[in-house]
Amino acid sequence: MNEPPTPANYWDVQERIDQVELSPRDALVVSVVSHSGTQYVRLQVHRNEVVNGTLRSTAGQKGVILPIDSVAAVAAVLTQAVERRTTRAYEERPIVAEEEDDPFA
Of the pLDDT bands very low, low, confident and very high (cuts 50, 70, 90), residue 92 is low
Q: Return the amino acid letter for 13.
A: V
Alpha-carbon gap, residue 48 to 58, rounded angstroms: 6
pLDDT at 89 exceeding the cut of 90 = no
Ramachandran angles phi, psi of 38, nearest 5°: -100, 135
Cβ–Cβ under 8 Å, residues 21 and 27: yes
Higher pLDDT, 94 or 1: 94
pLDDT at 16 exceeding the cut of 50 = yes
For 31-86, the pLDDT digits (tens) are: 999 999 999 999 999 988 888 888 888 888 788 999 999 999 999 999 998 888 76
Higher pLDDT, 93 or 24: 24
pLDDT score at 1:
46
Per-position DSSP letters for 29-98, written without gaps between them: EEEEEEETTEEEEEEEEEEEEEETTEEEEEEEEEEEEEEGGGHHHHHHHHHHHHHHHHHS---PPPP--G
**Could you give all domains of the chain from N- to C-terminal order, each with its CATH number?**
10-88 (2.30.31)
**What is the pTM for the complete model shown?**
0.66
